[in-house]
């Protein structure tokens, strides 16, 4: 564990303790994964078992009541890697954990051709159309991850609109049902991109900033907390309880301080 990670975990531990001493309104914590390599399949299964024992598990687009007595958690996966089907799906099914998989439609059946967010993802392959179609509908929800996995804010308005619209259309044609959720590649977005997503028919869009979703919150944008099958159980438990929700506030404060200096 790096010094930076250790410091974040210490703050998260304090945040978690404070939340237990002074409970607030229930919130939904949405976790997001990328790959689940075979070497970490058992660890991932243990994480899902932990959620089943300790949390109220709902879908990422949940808008109904939340449980006030235990963590409310949703599970998502970016990039639709084949190892998710091979190594995560059995554990999801065994423990009854619903999940959303966000698919980059331009890379089906191929190794990812975008800049990797983690080094291990270089060995991955995106699921084929047939593999995505065969995922159990009662357990897996499919969302868009654009066509090409670009940084959307770097694109022109027409190019960004095409990424949002074309990926949704391709998935709906593939699955024969409505697809109206989107995860931003790299979490990259701004107000313009959110409005374009709304215009393209998306009901919810997901970032990579840890931020709990309050009960009854109908905002289009939802924050998520990064999870990894290699996380220790103590760290995973902190993440599932929303203990990293302080991070966006810290980032905002850091930008403010830098702006003043």
Task: Of 51, 34, 134, 133, give the one whose Cα is nearest residue 87.
Answer: 34
Q: What is the pLDDT along the chain (261 residues), one digit of tens a residue?
A: 677 788 889 998 987 888 777 667 899 999 999 999 999 999 999 999 999 999 999 999 999 999 999 999 999 999 999 999 999 999 999 999 999 999 999 999 999 999 877 666 778 999 999 999 999 999 999 999 999 999 999 999 999 999 999 999 999 999 999 999 999 999 999 999 999 999 999 999 999 999 999 998 989 999 999 999 999 999 999 999 999 999 887 766 656 666 655
> b or e along 228-260 (b: 16 or more beta carbons within 10 Å of the residue's beta carbon)?
bbebeeebbbbbbbbbbbbbeeeeeeeeeeeee
How far apart CA 167 and CA 180 sit, in angstroms, is 11
55 Cβ neighbours under 8 A, 6+ residues apart: 70, 71, 72, 73, 240
Q: Domain map of the chain by residue range?
A: 3-260
Question: Looking at the domain that runs over 3-260, which CATH code has it been given?
Answer: 3.20.20.370
Q: Report the predicted TM-score, pTM, of the whole model to 2 decimal places.
A: 0.93
Strand ranges inside the chain, DSSP E: 27-33, 56-57, 72-78, 99-103, 140-144, 181-183, 204-206, 213-214, 221-222, 225-226
């Amino acid at each position: 564990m790096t010094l930076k990670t250790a410091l974040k975990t210490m703050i998260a531990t304090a945040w978690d303790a404070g939340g237990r001493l002074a409970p607030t309104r229930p919130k939904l914590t949405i976790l997001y994964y990328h790959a689940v390599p075979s070497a970490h399949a058992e660890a991932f299964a243990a994480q899902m078992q932990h959620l089943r024992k300790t949390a109220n598990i709902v879908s990422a687009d949940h808008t109904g009541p939340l449980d006030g007595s235990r963590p409310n958690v949703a599970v998502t996966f970016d990039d639709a890697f084949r190892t998710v089907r091979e190594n995560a799906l059995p554990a999801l099914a065994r423990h009854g954990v619903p999940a959303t998989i966000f698919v980059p439609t331009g890379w089906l059946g191929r190794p990812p051709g975008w800049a990797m967010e983690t080094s291990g993802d270089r060995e991955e392959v995106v699921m084929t159309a047939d593999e995505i179609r065969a995922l159990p509908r009662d357990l897996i929800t499919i969302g868009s991850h654009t066509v090409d996995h670009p940084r959307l804010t770097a694109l022109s308005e027409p190019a960004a609109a095409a990424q949002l619209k074309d990926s949704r259309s391709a998935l709906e044609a593939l699955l024969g049902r409505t697809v109206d959720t989107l995860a931003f590649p790299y979490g990259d977005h701004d107000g313009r991109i959110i409005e374009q997503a709304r215009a393209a028919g998306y009901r919810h869009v997901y970032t990579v900033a840890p931020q709990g979703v309050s009960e009854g919150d109908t905002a289009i944008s939802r924050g998520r907390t990064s999870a990894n099958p290699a996380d220790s159980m103590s760290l995973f438990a902190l993440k599932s309880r929303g203990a990293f929700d302080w991070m966006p506030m810290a980032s905002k404060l850091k930008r403010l301080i830098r702006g003043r200096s």
